[in-house]
Amino acid sequence: MSEFKRISPEQALALRAEGAVVVDIRDPQAFAAGHIAGATHLDNHSVADFIRSADLDAPTLVVCYHGNSSQSAAAYLVGQGFSNVYSIDGGFELWRNTYPAETAQGSAE
């Protein structure tokens, strides 16, 4: 079984440009206030549907607040059969500071 990888926001930006899926595991209010453009909000209620409809081989980027919780979520996705999972170091906070133009607002994308 593969393991998830930790990557920098710079690496994540490049993978996203190549079509990687971005999932955000922060609470709904934080997601609505700002998230990586194109990200899908993932929580306990939506994860099963996400896994059922996902391409398990597509690069999947997991983001949380600071890059800690996303590691557990990334490991969970690997355990569910995803083969190409990344946790973004520094989380959304570092992303927002590094790439403010690459963020969006709203509750669903």
Cα distance between residue 74 and residue 52, in whole Å: 16
Please state, as a whole number, how many other Cβ atoms lie within 10 Å of the Cβ of residue 19: 9
3 state SS of 45 = coil
Burial class (CB in 10 A: 0-12, 13-18, 19+), 74: buried
Tokens of 41: 């909000």
Of 60, 68, 23, 56, nearest in space to 42 by CA:
23
Q: Spot the catalytic one: 12, 64, 74, 78.
A: 64
| 2 among known catalytic residues | no
Which positions are annotated as active-site residues? 64
